[in-house]
A and B are shown apart, each in its own frame.
Chain A
Amino acid sequence: MYDGERIRPAYEQVMDWVRRTPAEQLALKKAEAEALFRRIGITFAVYGEGGDTERLIPFDMMPRVFTEAEWRRLERGVKQRSRALNAFLYDVYHRSEIVRAGKIPADLVYRNEAYEAAVVGISPPGGVYSHIVGIDLVRTGPDEFFVLEDNCRTPSGVSYMLENREIMMRMFPELFRTSRIAPVDDYPDRLRRTLASVAPGKCEGEPVTVLLSPGSFNSAYYEHSFLADQMGIEIVEGQDLFVQGDFVYMRTTEGPKRVDVIYRRIDDSFLDPLCFRPDSMLGVPGLMNVYRSGGVTICSAPGAGVADDKAVYTYVPDMIRFYLGEEPILKNVQTWKCSDPGDLKYVLENLGELVVKEVHGSGGYGMLVGPKSTREQIAAYAERIKADPADFIAQPTLALSTCPTFVDDGLAPRHVDLRPFCLVGKEVHLCPGGLTRVAMREGSLVVNSSQGGGVKDTWVLAD
């Protein structure tokens, strides 16, 4: 939010409000917000930590604010990227022009763990593979945004975007009266329409859409049930669905009911035990056969993960040029691929300044933040890289923008990133807002909720 020493204009109104509000009242509001979250049950389980499986994500009352002009540019960039990623997915499961043209190495695509040979040649409705694209961005200057990573499978966090807004509106109505903040609450309806727009050709009448969840023990279950509720669709588990003939049905108290679109929040490998993991209890036997014959649409399409791999990421600007003939609006962070001997040498020599990530990792696990690590940690990590260089990429630590955040002793700058949610169906739509994640520890660059990061409301101010 700081532009050099000056506060960005977008924040003027909010800061004015903070100055006028006594500190005790702010503290009271903060406690009130936390009680609301706990009562509503917005929680997030952290894997591998044991203890409380339903933990709250810290919520910060101070919003992240964009002006409409800033947002418009960002919007163009995100939509452009979402289109290119979908074009890439269609291509690699069909003629693979981009590989033939030598723009991306064949191994990176075909030997990728997320590449699903089982869906080669299948054309999902509208040619769309990734219907909800979550693109993680960081800002380094007034007009400089970098993409950290793409999420083409099942990006989570949209419930926080919606609930954060609800809570902010409930607690600070005066801010919403004086600022013209673009609403985000039509997102569930847009999502429902996006999903309905890709119903299979065999669908008769109004498409029946369901959300397929691994169940209430999953860490993102709150979001699954929240979205299903907001969209007015059923939330189902694998055991609720079965295949008969050419279609998928759900078990209801009135007998079987046909399902046209499955918005799945489970991984590819758990979709269908007959096709992928035979030990999966979550999936629906025979589902992939129905999918292949066009009896059901699966969102995101099986195999979509090959586009959001951290190694494929480095080629996204090339995809944009190749498929759209445009220059990328959003930049990639410079990335060294440890599979490349030259890059590997550079990375090992400069570990102290770099952020190193596992190619297939997610959630901020297993990464090394060079400037924040001890010599021992760096040495140990170097050994891991040497053992399997192709498994790692490295990026410079960016001068990330900060946003004022409530901490124990008042407001202080903390690093933030942003995940806007782009819907791709018959049309492409970007919701004016998103999930702003904030690193609650001073100086920390890791914002993942699984690593103790918090969330903020994200505002786009109308001009």
Chain B
Amino acid sequence: MLSRTAENLYWLARYMERADTMARLLEVGYRMALMPSAGAGYRNEWASLIAAAGSSEGFEAKFGDEFRQRDVETWLFYDRENSSSVLSCVETARQNGRAVRTALTSEMWDALNGAYLELRELERQPRTDDLLPQLCDWTKRQSALLRGSTEGTHLQNDGYDFLNLGYHIERADNTARLLDVKYYVLLPTLDMVGGTVDTYQWTTLLRALSAFRSFHWAYGSEYSPRKISHFLILNRACPRSLLHCHDKVSFHLNRLANAYGRTTCAHERMRGALAELTDMDLDAIIDAGLHEFLTRFIHQNAALGQDVADGYLFGVQ
């Protein structure tokens, strides 16, 4: 497979997953904004979302530091100046797909191109206050459609592995960021932990990750930040947990190693990172500081992405 093709597949998956996360973030914000304000904590819920999306600087440069809901919506959904907005992500994903159309099945292209065409329609619709939940649902549906047609139709060859590396590296990053907003950004003072607002925020996080019901299945009905953290970090069965994502990355890297008969720097880093994560328990993570742990994880994960690029000659000029 051409290295550029692999690169395009990888980024196509990453951008679609990122669009999905942006929609979920917006949903978190929307639900939290319906609650009486926590007062303390971060400046407000919307500001914390922008921080989680990792684009505070760009946002403040454009809209100032008031973090109005409408501006946040614009920034995270419609804004082409924000390279991670849903609109930018879908367009970039489609651009990546268009460059390697022959490496996609027609159903995958249909899902990708269909999302792009519908988005251009959505863009023309007048904005109303109740549009946001619809936009979030729409985005999640599009990414599910692409994911489904990939699973259902794509030949499970090296291209499939590169797509999945993209999905899971991005998803690991996104879960870590969402968790970080909740734990560090929204409620920096420990005495607020356990209050009504706190519980509501935690469950909102679960809902945004479509993991509300799964959590009950796995942990019973009582919430605690500990249980939820465990669920999203160390539970292999949760499809959005960090450990699950790295399991998948490792799985697809190993498939590539078998197919090509060689390993790369990415394999080495993955082995180390996975062993470390598997051996961890939640107490150790909380004691050392969840935020510190997540920050380190996000860096490690980014380095892994870079190793995949280096190992398979992406972007070599």
Enumerate chain A interface residues (CB-CB to B < 8 A): 38-41, 215-216, 221, 225, 228-229, 234-237, 239-240, 250-254
CB-CB < 8 A to B114: which residues of A?
39
Given contacts A229-B102, A235-B102, A254-B260, contact A39 B4 (CB under 8 A): no
Shortest CB distance A253–B (Å): 4
Contact of A253 among B101, B117, B313, B317 (CB under 8 A): B313
Interchain CA distance A104-B301 in the complex, whole Å: 67
Interface secondary structure of B, over-half rule:
helix
- Distance, CA A266 to CA B243, complexed state (A): 47
Binary A-proximity of B262-297 (CB < 8 A = 1, otherwise 0): 000000000000000000000000000000000000
Interface size, B (range): 20 to 34
Could you tell me if B101 and A225 are in contact, using CB atoms closer than 8 angstroms? yes
Contact in complex: A253, B99 (CB < 8 Å): no
**Cβ of B109 to closest chain A Cβ, rounded Å:** 7
Q: Would you call B316 an interface residue if the criterion is a C-beta within 8 Å of the partner chain's C-beta atoms?
A: yes
Contact A251 B4, beta carbon cutoff 8 Å: yes
Do A251 and B316 have beta carbons less than 8 Å apart? Answer: yes
Q: A228-B102, A235-B102 are in contact. Are A253 and B316 (CB under 8 A)?
A: no
Write out the residue numbers on chain B whose beta carbons fall within 8 Å of the beta carbon of A225: 101-102
By the criterion CB–CB under 8 Å, are B4 and A240 in contact? yes
Residue pair B113, A250 in contact (C-beta under 8 Å): no
Tell me the smallest distance from the CB of A266 to a CB of chain B, in Å. 16
Instruction: Verify B99–A240 contact, CB threshold 8 A.
Output: no
Contact: B1 with A252, CB < 8 Å?
Answer: yes
Of the listed residues B6, B102, B162, the one surrounded by the most CB atoms of chain A closer than 10 A to its CB is B102
Shortest distance from the beta carbon of B142 to any chain A beta carbon, whole Å: 15
The reply to whether A39 and B113 contact each other, CB–CB distance below 8 Å, is: yes
Known: A252-B3, A253-B6. A39 touches B260 (CB 8 A): no
Binary per-residue interface labels of chain B (124-135) against chain A in the complex, 1 for a CB within 8 Å, 0 otherwise: 000000000000
- CB of B2 within 8 A of chain A? yes
Smallest CB-CB A-B distances: 9 pairs: A229-B102, A216-B99, A253-B312, A251-B3, A225-B101, A253-B6, A253-B1, A216-B98, A254-B260
Most chain A CB atoms below 10 A, which of B3, B114, B117: B3
- Interface pair B110/A39, CB less than 8 Å apart: yes
For the A-B complex with A225-B101, A234-B2, A240-B2 known, give 5 more contacts whose Cβ atoms are closer than 8 Å.
A39-B110, A40-B106, A41-B109, A253-B256, A253-B260
A253→B310 CA distance, assembly (Å): 10
B71 at the A/B interface (Cβ < 8 Å)? no
Known contacts being A216-B98, A225-B102, A253-B260, is A240 close to B117, with CB within 8 Å?
no
Tell me if B79 counts as interface (CB < 8 A to partner A): no
Q: How far is the CB of A229 from chain B (nearest CB, A)?
A: 4
Other-chain contact of A240, B3, B113, B162 (Cβ < 8 Å): B3
B82 within 8 A of A: no
Asked whether any CB of chain A lies closer than 8 Å to the CB of B198, the reply is no
List the B side residues contacting A239 at CB < 8 Å: 4, 317
| Least Cβ–Cβ distance between A380 and chain B, in angstroms | 39
Residues of A within 8 Å of B113, CB to CB, are: 39, 41
